[in-house]
Amino acid sequence: MRKRILDNERGDATYLSAVVFFAVSLVTLFLMLSALSAVMAKQKLDHAADSLARQIQLSGEVGADTDLLWEHLKAGISEDAAYAVETEYLRDGKIQLGTPFRLELTATVPLGGGVFSLFPVSFTARAGGVSEHYWKEGAP
């Protein structure tokens, strides 16, 4: 009986192993692409943090221009992304020359992306800098 099974040339075992191999390959490919999408989202968030920090350094304030740049940058990341600036303000979002600030960006991105979003992953990017703008005391 055992000899008959070994001599069987129908190829059932080969077909089954090919199907299993194909399914495992697809799952592995999907997980690799999901990990790649997460890495790309984190990279975009880090770039946005650096760009926003540089804009705040040059302008010396957190205001309409900062919000406009942030809306442009977050379009490629996530709609629920947010930023917060921690600093000592002079007045009305203005940061005096030499005053340090810390910037923190947060975003939640679905792992996998698109139709196959598995579960949300939260990312945080931090940047910092020092204001390069001098504000006169009485000037607007």
Which burial class, exposed, middle or buried, applies to 24 when counting CB atoms under 10 A from its CB (0-12, 13-18, 19+)? exposed
Element (H, E) at 121: strand 120-130
The predicted model scores a pTM of 0.78
8 Å CB contact between 120 and 111: yes
Provide the pairing of β-strand 82-87 with 100-110: antiparallel
pLDDT one-digit tens code per residue, 47-93: 999 999 999 999 999 999 999 999 999 988 888 899 999 999 998 89
Tokens encoding 28: 């592995």
- Cα 115 to chain centroid distance, Å, stands at 18
How many angstroms separate the CA atoms of 107 and 48, rounded? 11
